[in-house]
Amino acid sequence: MPSALIRGADCVYEVTGTGPPLILIHSIGLSTRQGWRAQVPVLARTHRVVTYDIRGLGESAAGAERLGVATFAADLAGLMDHLSLPRAALMGVSLGGFIAQAFAIANPDRVSALVLVSTACRIAAGNSGARAQRNARIRAEGMGVAAGPQLESHFSGAFRTAHPEIMDWYRGHYCANDPAHYTAIMEDLGTFDCCDRLGAIRCPTLVVAGAADAGAVAGRVPLESAKALCARIPGARLEIIEDAHHYPQIEQAEAFNRAVAAFLHRPAGEGA
């Protein structure tokens, strides 16, 4: 598997297909580039698709930098430089969406389009207590203590019953997280807030949300965060994926892929 030393840490990545560059940025729970396995074969028909493991997650090393969005956004710039990509479209889910926002704000000339999936410009402060308790349990008992609640909150009961193989696959990746890395990133996400800077994003932007996502990132009610992103990013539009929770790219892969492909294939010069 290709890897590169990016800002002092070994970064594992893959490049598939040819065409305009598209970088896919994974979540923290599904802590690997393999979370996009239902998207890469479709999108690689028309794009040069780059997937990679974020620093400290999956197969990429943690290095010495603080594990958090600011570090990850700087790493993304380093990876693009390594791949000789002056500009690319970005698609990030959950944590990946936070990274994509931060990168697009800091590097507007390097982003041709933005797809923000199941993410927010900030997590409501009311979640801090529950997050602290959960992180303490994970540090004390390991990732397995949170795996069951994670599956229940991120996928519908019907999907979990119909696809036990996907649940086993997800659980394996979730439990493979280093508890110290995971909790450090979760704590950083609790402090992230770029809401007042979203007006700096000028590229076409698609916000994608599962209609039934009720997690902390979704907001106090489903779609609250997605609607806030659309209201603050100039020209952004919202795509709601029915019968999907936190991971619409997994739970409703075909509908998700159609929506993203239609957005990425819009005529030149057409806004989001």
Residue 68 belongs to domain with CATH number: 3.40.50.1820
Range of the domain at 206: 3-123+193-264
Establish if 38 belongs to a structural domain.
yes
Percent of the chain residues topping a pLDDT of 90: 94
Per-residue pLDDT, 271: 44
Establish if 139 belongs to a structural domain.
no
Establish if 39 belongs to a structural domain.
yes
Per-residue pLDDT, 1: 82
Per-residue pLDDT, 12: 98
What confidence category does residue 31 fall into, taking pLDDT thresholds of 50, 70 and 90?
Answer: very high
Q: Which helix (H) or strand (E) holds 92?
A: strand 88-93
Higher pLDDT, 266 or 271: 266
Establish if 133 belongs to a structural domain.
no
Percent of the chain residues topping a pLDDT of 70: 98
Q: Read off the pTM.
A: 0.96
pLDDT one-digit tens code per residue, 197-254: 999 999 999 999 999 999 899 999 999 999 999 999 999 999 999 999 999 999 999 9
pLDDT one-digit tens code per residue, 159-213: 999 999 999 999 999 999 999 999 999 999 999 999 999 999 999 999 999 999 9
Establish if 30 belongs to a structural domain.
yes
Specify the number of domains making up the chain.
1
DSSP letters, 124-175, are -GGGHHHHHHHHHHHHHH-THHHHHHHHHHHS-HHHHHH-HHHHHHHHHHHH
Residue whose pair of structure tokens reads 């019907």 in the numeric block: 158
Establish if 161 belongs to a structural domain.
no
Per-residue pLDDT, 209: 98
Establish if 130 belongs to a structural domain.
no
Establish if 210 belongs to a structural domain.
yes
Strands in 111-117's sheet, in edge-to-edge order, are: 3-6, 9-16, 48-52, 21-25, 88-93, 111-117, 205-210, 237-241
Per-residue pLDDT, 272: 36
The one-letter amino acid at 247: Y
